[in-house]
Structure 1
């Protein structure tokens, strides 16, 4: 325990900084795809609670007029556009175009006014138009939710920060195959790239935007 306490104290000295939610946020739901919710699938993970959390935040974001972005992974037949990622990660076969396991997960259907970004690599920003679309819309910060914490959420978090967006990651609205990589990656993202926040914190922030809009 002493070693862990020393480690935490060391991290607090170096990395105990918060950047806040910023202004003009967008909420991003990363890869909540059906494959993660099907027992027996290679991608199956206990992530139902993460989706439920993300859906609650989505409702608040929509009420506040905050743009909502949904991402998915889609490959053409044979995975030709997947490159080395498709070659390495066998479960990505779930995301071939037209596969039922590539559909959005339970209860998640895009609204007409929500942006859907289809990608072939882990980050929502890599080789997509997301960064330029958000910038053109005047968005300065992002709130990230999604699957998996150690994979596409982390990659999107690093790229969001690298593109200049103030970034928050909602802990309960992200999920992974096992608690250890989930917690380790939340810890590291919070140290270096983003504010890792609770669902309650994110909800309070979104509600404040609703109140602010009502006041105007």
Structure 2
């Protein structure tokens, strides 16, 4: 991106909305498919998961809701509709596939909600928005995979549902740095605050005070 265009974006979109008061942490689609080098979804994102797990630990210490999402399809793929038709690697998330399992180091706690979905956004055709509203949540911290796919879709929908949205850059990943960086840039401009792990941990620590 040229310096002139960067300056233009900074002038037009230089707004931060902040973290909110009653946040929830969402871990989006951390599944084995992204960690297995033999899988066509492999993304080399061990450091991303490590970041998300540190944030999760801090979120639990701060007693805020932690929600995980995964993708699960009927053996025929019929409930995946046009998304399943278009994106061939989604076959890895057919019910019972080992690629849909949680990766090493991530096991949902009994008090953590798991939302299973069939489309990119964690909010589309799920109970997530109404559940967060019922909990009194006003904001979300997004982590997960992939930045250009399900994280971005969830980010746009979170904002559209009225939640202050923060995307933790260190705790999101993609299969290539170009779509990762481009989507973080665009989300930060229009839909969310893109923040670092350090900023997020500092915020969560403050909730414990």
TM-score computed with the length of structure 2 as normaliser: 0.99
Q: Which residue of the partner structure matches residue 154 of structure 1?
A: 152
Q: Which residue of the partner structure matches residue 3 of structure 2?
A: 5
1:25-46, Cα deviation, whole Å (9 max, x unpaired): 0000000000000002110011
1:193-212 matches, within 5 Å, as 193-211=191-209
For residue 108 of structure 2, give the secondary structure of its aligned residue in structure 1.
Answer: coil
Q: Which residue of the partner structure matches residue 143 of structure 1?
A: 141
For residue 77 of structure 1, give the secondary structure of its aligned residue in structure 2.
Answer: coil
Q: d(CA) in 2 for partners of 1:125 and 1:178?
A: 25
For residue 125 of structure 2, give the secondary structure of its aligned residue in structure 1.
Answer: coil
Can you give the 5+ residue segments of structure 1 that lack an aligned partner in the other structure?
Answer: 212-216
Q: Which residue of the partner structure matches residue 63 of structure 1?
A: 61
Give the aligned length: 209
Residue among 12, 18, 21 paired with 1:20: 18
Q: Structure 1 residue 171 and structure 2 residue 138: aligned?
A: no
Q: d(CA) in 2 for partners of 1:132 and 1:32?
A: 23
Residue among 73, 76, 79 paired with 1:78: 76
Can you give the 5+ residue segments of structure 2 that lack an aligned partner in the other structure?
Answer: none
1:29-108 matches, within 5 Å, as 29-108=27-106
- The structure where helix makes up a greater share of residues is 1
For residue 77 of structure 2, give the secondary structure of its aligned residue in structure 1.
Answer: helix
1:73-112, Cα deviation, whole Å (9 max, x unpaired): 0001110100000011111011011111101112110000
1:105-156, Cα deviation, whole Å (9 max, x unpaired): 1211000000100000000000000000000000000000000000000000
TM-score computed with the length of structure 1 as normaliser: 0.96
Q: d(CA) in 2 for partners of 1:138 and 1:188?
A: 28
Q: Structure 1 residue 132 and structure 2 residue 130: aligned?
A: yes
User: How many angstroms does 1:168 deviate by?
Assistant: 0.1
For residue 13 of structure 1, give the secondary structure of its aligned residue in structure 2.
Answer: helix
User: How many angstroms does 1:210 deviate by?
Assistant: 1.2
Q: Structure 1 residue 112 and structure 2 residue 124: aligned?
A: no
Measured on the aligned residues, the alpha-carbon RMSD in Å equals 0.7
Q: d(CA) in 1 for partners of 2:95 and 2:12?
A: 45
For residue 209 of structure 1, give the secondary structure of its aligned residue in structure 2.
Answer: helix
